[in-house]
Amino acid sequence: MSGVQQKDAAGFRRLVLKNASPYHYLKVRLVLEDESTRLSAVELKTFIISGLNSLFGEVGAALSFDVLKYDEDSLTAFLRVGSKGLVKLWSSLTLLGCYQNQTCAFRVLQVSPFLLALTGNSRDLHLD
């Protein structure tokens, strides 16, 4: 936990936390050229690991991340990664462009250090 402390003349102390959360959570969707193609959760994780391997080598492929929830119908997944590995995972997802000889793309829908923040999206909110 790294922080910056400042002492004010009035006696107040300001504490700023940076990267206080050990994990970041991503909500991603895989868009495939052939929409009838389905992947299991294991195939999805293997595909992501292969992207990490191609971009960052064996060290990148050893990045620890978890598939917390995966919906095979919509190809949407919730991923958990250590905060220090967020940029590596996100960049490898962005550069993955081919799955079994068909074009594909990962769409990062939401990112947050709090899992609860991914449960709702204000862009999808419909008020009656």
For residue range 43-82, list pLDDT tens digits in order.
999 999 999 999 999 998 999 999 999 999 999 999 999 9
Domains and CATH numbers, the chain: 21-118 (3.30.70.3250)
Number of H helices, E strands in the chain: 2, 7
Dump the DSSP string for 16-64: EEES--SEEEEEEEEEESSTT----HHHHHHHHHHHHHHHHHHHHHT--
| Mean pLDDT score across all residues of the chain | 87
- Calculate mean pLDDT across residues 24-40: 94
More confident residue, 17 or 118: 118
For residue range 12-24, list pLDDT tens digits in order.
787 666 667 899 9
